[in-house]
Amino acid sequence: MKLHTLSIKALNELLTSRKISVKECTDYFLDRVDAFDQDINAVVYQNKETISAQVSAAQKAIDSGTAGLLTGIPIMHKDIFCVQDEPLTCGSKILDGYISPYSATLVSRLNDAGAINIGRLNMDEFAMGSSNETSHHGPCRNPWDLNTVPGGSSGGSAAAVAARLVPLTTGTDTGGSIRQPASFCGVTGLKPSYGRISRFGMAAYASSLDQAGPFGASAEDCAAMLQVMAGHDTNDMTCSDVCVPDYIKGISQAPEKMTIGLPKEYFNGTLNASLQSLIDDAIDTLQQQGHHFIEVSLPNMEYAIPTYYTIAPCEASSNLARYDGIRYGFRSPHDDLTETYEKSREQGFGDEVKRRILLGSFSLSSGYSSDYYLKAKKVQEKIRLDYMKAFAKADVLLCPTAPSTAFKIGEKTNDPVSMYLSDIYTITVNLAGLPAISVPIGFVNQMPVGMQIIGDRFREERILRLAHHFQQLTDWHQAIPNQYQ
C-alpha cells in the first residue's frame, strides 16, 4: 500500500481500524527517508532511539480508543524548534554541540497528540534566507529538480513533504519562509496569524514577525496540524488567547461564496506570463463556483521589501547577541574575552547572518535609528492599515506566492538584493501579522507554482476553507515528483 499518497484522514482511518500498526506506518516513512534523503538533504538529525517509545505510546492510545487525528502520524520539525535533550542547530555552526534543555510548546503539543517525531529538517541559518543555501548542513535540494533550491528558509520542511518523506512538517515564516518554499516545492504551507501559535522554544530571528506553521500535501492536512499547534500559551506573552475554532469541521462544511480581493499592485503586468496564466486559471476555477472577485488596493506594497529588511535585521541583531561563544555551542577559544566573543561569532555565523546583524546594528545605531527603524515601523503601520481597508471589502485576498518558480542552486547567492526580491509577494503579510496559505496551482517547465490566499487576522479557518474548496476542484496538490512516487 502506498501510504505516502494518503491524506492524514485516510492514514488515521487505517491506523484506528488496525489495518496498519503505528510501527508499520512509522517504519514505512523511515524507509522513505533512508531511500531518498541522501540526494535531497532535507533531514539533518534523527534520534531513532526515541521513536520506539513514541510508537508504543501512540499504539496504546489507538488500542484504548483515545487516539486523535494525528496519533501515529510521522512528522518532522524544522531544526529551529527545541526538542528536550536533543541537539538544536538552526542550520548554524554556532550551535554546534548545543542540547536543548526543554521542548518548544508546539513540539510538546504535537507529542501529546501522538504524532511521531522522526527527525529534524534543514533550513537557512537562523531562518535568514530564501533558498536554504545558507545552512551549515549544506543546501537542501528541490525534489522536483535537484539542481534547484527548495526555497527558504523552511526549505527542508517543504522538500520533505514534496518527496513525501513524511505527511506533515513544521516550519516558520518571518517574511515568507513557509509560503515561498511551499510554492517552489508544490506543497501546501500555512503561515498563521502572528500570535496564533506559541513561539516558546522556537529560536528567534525577528520576534515581532516570526510565526510557526504547518506544511502538508493539502489544506485539510495542514488544518489537522494547525488544530494541535494553535492556542494560548502562558510561556509566550505574544501568543493570543483568541478562541481557536474547529478547523477540521470548518473546512468540511459546504463552501460559502466569498468575496475575493485581487490587490491591483500584485496584478500590474510585471508577473511572468506563464505564472500569470496559472493564476488566471485558478481565478476562473473559483469564479465558476460562484465566488465573487473584486479589485482592492495595497498602495504601500512597494515599500514592503525595505521595510522588512530594516525591521528584521534590527531584531536579529538583538536576538542573536546571545550567541556569544560562552553559553551556547561553538566557541573559538582565545585568552581574551572580547576576542573570544568576536572570533566565535565571526567563525560561528555564516555570511548572510553576519550581513543581517551588521545591517541591524547600523540601522539601530545612534543618529540612524529614527531614519531607518522608526521610519520602517511607521511604513509597517501604513501597510497594516491598507490591509484593514481591503478586508472591509473582501473576505480574503488572492495573489501569487512567489515571482518565479524555484531557481538554480547558486544562482542568487552573490546578489543579496535579488534574493530579497524573491519575497516580494509574501512580506507584507508578516508586516501586518496576517494568516496566509500557499496552494499548488500548476507547473511551469515542470516546476510547481503556488497561489497565496490571505485572510484577516485570526481568520485561518476562512483561508483554509477556500484552499480546501480549490483543492477539491483540482489535483495539483496530489502531484509527486516521478522518482518519489
Q: Which residues are catalytic?
A: 78, 153, 177
Q: Which is nearer to other proteins, 5 or 418 (CB)?
A: 418
Select from 112-120, 271-279, 342-350, 404-412 the region that touches other proteins (CB under 8 A).
Answer: 342-350
Select from 32-40, 41-49, 307-315, 399-407 the region that touches other proteins (CB under 8 A).
Answer: 307-315
Residue selected from 297, 382, 443, 474 as contacting other proteins according to rule CB under 8 A: 382
Residue selected from 307, 405, 422, 452 as contacting other proteins according to rule CB under 8 A: 307
Residue selected from 305, 413, 474, 484 as contacting other proteins according to rule CB under 8 A: 305
- Name the nearest CA neighbour of 388 among 290, 465, 267, 299: 299
Residue 263 C-beta: closest distance to other proteins, Å: 17
Q: Which is nearer to other proteins, 266 or 458 (CB)?
A: 458
Query: What does the alpha-carbon distance between residue 158 and residue 179 come to, in Å, rounded to a whole number?
Result: 9
The H or E element spanning position 390 is: helix 375-393
Residues 146 and 40 sit within 8 Å (Cβ to Cβ): yes
227 lies in the site for other proteins, by CB under 8 A: no
Select from 16-24, 53-61, 303-311, 477-485 the region that touches other proteins (CB under 8 A).
Answer: 303-311
Beta bridge partners, 149, equal none
Residue 259 C-beta: closest distance to other proteins, Å: 24
CB atoms within 10 A of CB 138: 12
Residue 361 C-beta: closest distance to other proteins, Å: 5
Residue selected from 5, 56, 147, 234 as contacting other proteins according to rule CB under 8 A: 234
Q: Which is nearer to other proteins, 345 or 465 (CB)?
A: 345
Assigned C-alpha cell, 366? 545612534
373 lies in the site for other proteins, by CB under 8 A: no
Question: Mask: binding to other proteins, 403-442, rule CB under 8 A, as x and -?
Answer: -------------xx--x------------x---------
Q: Which is nearer to other proteins, 109 or 291 (CB)?
A: 109
331 lies in the site for other proteins, by CB under 8 A: yes
Interface positions, 444-483, toward other proteins (CB under 8 A) = none
- Give every strand in the sheet of 168-172, ordered side by side: 43-45, 116-121, 74-78, 168-172, 212-216, 188-191, 436-444, 447-455, 396-400, 259-263, 292-296
Residues 6+ apart with CB under 8 A from 105: 198, 200, 201, 233, 235, 236
Residue selected from 359, 424, 441, 464 as contacting other proteins according to rule CB under 8 A: 359
Residue selected from 45, 306, 472, 484 as contacting other proteins according to rule CB under 8 A: 306
Select from 31-39, 118-126, 232-240, 394-402 the region that touches other proteins (CB under 8 A).
Answer: 232-240
Interface positions, 194-213, toward other proteins (CB under 8 A) = 194-195, 208
362 lies in the site for other proteins, by CB under 8 A: yes
Select from 6-14, 40-48, 243-251, 351-359 the region that touches other proteins (CB under 8 A).
Answer: 351-359
310 lies in the site for other proteins, by CB under 8 A: yes
Residue 384 C-beta: closest distance to other proteins, Å: 6
Residue 85 C-beta: closest distance to other proteins, Å: 8
Residue 35 C-beta: closest distance to other proteins, Å: 34
Residue selected from 1, 99, 294, 473 as contacting other proteins according to rule CB under 8 A: 99
CB atoms within 10 A of CB 467: 26
- Name the nearest CA neighbour of 198 among 112, 267, 103, 117: 103
Interface positions, 132-151, toward other proteins (CB under 8 A) = none
